[in-house]
Chains A and B, each alone.
Chain A
C-alpha cells in the first residue's frame, strides 16, 4: 500500500470517526434529556424529604440544569473540544479519572473473555466442521445452541451459586478482596476476582464463535480447492493446516475484532452481576443516577473502543489478505 493510498484511508477513517462520535454524543444527550430520571433527586436519594425545593433548585443551578438542553450540550461539547470531560456527579471526581481507574479492570476482564471465547470457540468450531455429521460435531452443536440461548446474567448467577457459594473456591464479587490494604493486593487476588466474570462473559461468546467458525470451515471444505487438495492426497490435520486454517483464520479474526461491541454489552451485565468495578458497572450507575458527564464520557470512550476494534479488523484484512492488498504487487500488469 503506497503512502497516498494509506493516507487517504486514514483520513477517511478519521472523518468517519469524528462524525460517529458527534452523532453518538447528540443521540445520547437527547436520550438523557428525555429520560424521566431527575439527576437532583437521584443524587439526593433517601434524603429527599430533608431537602427543600429551594436547595434543590440551587443544586440544579450549580450543575447548570436550569438551562435549556441545547445550551447545556453546546457548553459540554465546547469543553470536550478543549479536553475537559467534566466531573462525575456521583463519584465527585473528574470523568477521565473515573474511566481511567475502571478501564483497567474492564480491559483485563474483556481481554480474558475475548481470548478465551476466541480460542475455545475457534477450536470447537474447527473440530466440529472437520468431523461434520459425526458424534463430536453433533455434541458441539448441541452445547453451542444451549449456550447461545442462555442469558449471560443467568449464567453468571449460576456460576456464583456453584463456585462462590457452594464450593467457595472463588470470591462472589468485587475486583479486589474487601478489607485488604491496597498495597497488599496481589495480582493473584485480582485474577481470582476476575475469573468468574470472565467465565460468564466468555462462555456465551464461545457458542457464537464456534458456530460461525464451523459454518465458515464447512463452506471452505465444500470448495473446489479442498476437493483438489484431497485428490492430491492431503487429509486430516494436514488438510486443515494447509487449507482450512488458512482460509478461515482471517474471517475468524475479523469477526472476533468486530465482536468487541457485543463484548462491551455483555460486560455491562456481567459486571453488574459480579459487582465488578469496571466500565460496565459505572455505565449502569451513571445511567440510573443521571450522571450526564460520566455517561457521556463512557459512551464516547466505548464508541472509540468499538471503532478501534472494527478498524483493526478492516486493516488486518488489507494487510494480510493477498486479494485485498494494493495492485502494485499485481503481476498481471506485466
Chain B
C-alpha cells in the first residue's frame, strides 16, 4: 500500500545577504519518492544533497524561512502543515542520528514514554526496552551516561512505542561498526515486516543495498533514479543512471573502480535549463545541457536521464 508519495518536491530558503539583497537557495529542487508499507526505502546521496531536509519536510519541521514546492501525499491525502502537526509522533516518527537529539536533562525512560501512544506508557516503554536489549536501569540514566549504542536503542525504542506507520531514520548508521550497522538494519527490517513503511536516509550505499528494498539515489537536490536494491549488483549493469552506477562502482567492495566521470557534488545554487549533472557527466549530450530530464519509467523503477 502506498503510504507516502512526494511529487516534484522542492525546498528553498530565502536569506538576506547584506541589507536588502535577498538570495534564494534551493537545496532540494526535484524530488520524487514513493514509500510502500512493509518496505524499506533508502534515499542515498552525498552529504549536502538535501536528504535530511526531505525528512524535515515530511514532518513539517523545516525552519520558518523554508519554502516547500510540489506535493507530499500521506495515504493519498495532501500533507498540509495542520495535518503534519497532527501526524507528527502519531503516524510519522523520526529516528534521529545521534545522542544530541535526546534532552540532556531528562531520564531516558521518560523520553521514551513521551513518545508512547498508549494508555500505559510505562508498560510499553519496558516492552520496548526488552525488545531493544536495554537494561532496566537505563530507564533512569541521563543521555550523558549512555553509550552511543544505548542512545541509538533509546531512539529506536521511541519509534517503536509511537506505533507510527511511517518511520523516518535520518543517517542511523554513520561511523558504526559492521555488526552495529547490521543490528540497526535488522530493527528496521522487523518494523517493515510488521507493516510499517521505513524511510532510510543515508550516505552509506553499501548498508542501504543490503538492508533496503528500494533505493532512491539523490544528487544536486534531485532524485536521479529509483530502483530495487537488488539491481545494485555485479558491475552495475542493471543501474540506469550514470551517477548511481558511478556511486556503486566506487565502493571498496567493487574494486574502487573510479567512476567514468568525476561526479563532484553539484552546487544546489546554480540554476540552468539543463541537467545539473551535465557539466561533469561523460555521457552528457547537447540535449542534457538544454533540457532538464523528466522521469522515465524503466523496469521496476524510473530514471531521470536523457543519456541512459
**A contact set with B: CB distance below 8 Å:** 133, 223-225, 227-235, 242-243, 246-247, 250, 321-323, 330-332
Q: A133-B64, A234-B89, A331-B138 are in contact. List 11 more A-B contacts (CB 8 A).
A: A225-B102, A228-B96, A230-B59, A231-B89, A231-B96, A233-B85, A247-B103, A321-B105, A322-B105, A331-B145, A332-B147
**B contact set with A: CB distance below 8 Å:** 56, 59, 61, 64, 85, 88-90, 93-94, 96, 98, 100-106, 114-115, 137-138, 141-142, 144-145, 147, 158, 162
B101 touches A233 (CB 8 A): no
Q: How far is the CA of A110 from the CA of B29 in the complex (A)?
A: 59
Closest partner residue, chain B, to A133 (CB atom): B64
* Min CB gap B140→A, angstroms: 8
- Enumerate chain A residues within 8 angstroms of B104, measured Cβ to Cβ: 225, 247, 323
- Enumerate chain A residues within 8 angstroms of B145, measured Cβ to Cβ: 322, 330-332
B105 touches A231 (CB 8 A): no
B103 touches A246 (CB 8 A): yes
- Enumerate chain B residues within 8 angstroms of A332, measured Cβ to Cβ: 145, 147
- Enumerate chain A residues within 8 angstroms of B64, measured Cβ to Cβ: 133
Residue of A133, A223, A233 touching B89 (CB-CB under 8 A): A233
Closest partner residue, chain B, to A244 (CB atom): B103
Given known contacts A231-B59, A234-B89, A224 and B141 CB-to-CB distance under 8 angstroms: no
B93 touches A243 (CB 8 A): no
A247 touches B61 (CB 8 A): no
- Enumerate chain B residues within 8 angstroms of A331, measured Cβ to Cβ: 137-138, 141, 145
Closest partner residue, chain B, to A321 (CB atom): B105
Q: How far is the CA of A86 from the CA of B98 in the complex (A)?
A: 63
- Enumerate chain B residues within 8 angstroms of A233, measured Cβ to Cβ: 85, 88-90
Central interface residue in B64, B96, B105, B141, by most chain A CB within 10 Å = B105
Given known contacts A225-B102, A247-B103, A247-B105, A230 and B147 CB-to-CB distance under 8 angstroms: no
- Enumerate chain B residues within 8 angstroms of A247, measured Cβ to Cβ: 103-105
Q: How far is the CA of A314 from the CA of B151 in the complex (A)?
A: 29
* Min CB gap A118→B, angstroms: 20
How many A-B contacts are there with CB distance less than 8 Å? 73
- Enumerate chain B residues within 8 angstroms of A246, measured Cβ to Cβ: 103, 105-106
A229 touches B142 (CB 8 A): no
A243 touches B88 (CB 8 A): no
- Enumerate chain B residues within 8 angstroms of A321, measured Cβ to Cβ: 105
B101 touches A224 (CB 8 A): yes
A224 touches B100 (CB 8 A): yes
- Enumerate chain B residues within 8 angstroms of A225, measured Cβ to Cβ: 100-104
* Min CB gap B222→A, angstroms: 25
- Enumerate chain B residues within 8 angstroms of A224, measured Cβ to Cβ: 96, 98, 100-101
A231 touches B100 (CB 8 A): no
6 A–B contacts from the bound complex (CB under 8 Å) = A133-B64, A225-B102, A227-B101, A228-B94, A230-B59, A230-B88
Given known contacts A233-B89, A331-B145, A228 and B102 CB-to-CB distance under 8 angstroms: yes
* Min CB gap B231→A, angstroms: 31
Q: How far is the CA of A133 from the CA of B137 in the complex (A)?
A: 42
- Enumerate chain B residues within 8 angstroms of A228, measured Cβ to Cβ: 94, 96, 101-102
Closest partner residue, chain B, to A235 (CB atom): B85
B102 touches A322 (CB 8 A): no
B88 touches A232 (CB 8 A): yes
A231 touches B88 (CB 8 A): yes
Q: How far is the CA of A321 from the CA of B98 in the complex (A)?
A: 21
Given known contacts A227-B101, A243-B106, A247-B103, A232 and B147 CB-to-CB distance under 8 angstroms: no
Q: How far is the CA of A3 from the CA of B12 in the complex (A)?
A: 58
* Min CB gap B132→A, angstroms: 17
Given known contacts A247-B104, A331-B137, A234 and B114 CB-to-CB distance under 8 angstroms: yes
* Min CB gap A241→B, angstroms: 11
